[in-house]
Amino acid sequence: MRITVDPDRCVGAGQCALNAPALFDQDDDGLVTLLTEPGADQYDKARLAGALCPSGAITVHEG
């Protein structure tokens, strides 16, 4: 699995940082940053963040 984030689309709702804090953070502008690629035990968290993000700023590439 691989994750890409698009800070240009991010609306700073913070769903990612709240629900998957090991993977995502908000930078000084409040926009998404990817902290690390998910390990196998974090796939569910990554999918959750991808599904919750209201602006489509997080893409989870399976496989």
Residues that bind other proteins (CB under 8 A): 11-15, 17-19, 21, 26, 28-31, 48, 51-52, 54-56
Q: Assess 33 for contact with ligand SF4 (CB under 6 A).
A: no
Separation CA 12–CA 62 (nearest Å): 24
Q: How far apart are CA 40 and CA 26, in angstroms?
A: 23
Please tell me whether residue 46 binds ligand SF4 under the rule CB under 6 A: no
For residue 25 the two structure tokens come to 């953070």
Residue 3 sits in the site that holds ligand SF4 (CB under 6 A): no
Q: Which CB, 39 or 56, lies closer to ligand SF4?
A: 56
Separation CA 55–CA 59 (nearest Å): 11
Q: Give me the residues paired with residue 7 across strands.
A: none
Shortest Cβ distance from residue 13 to other proteins (Å)?
Answer: 5
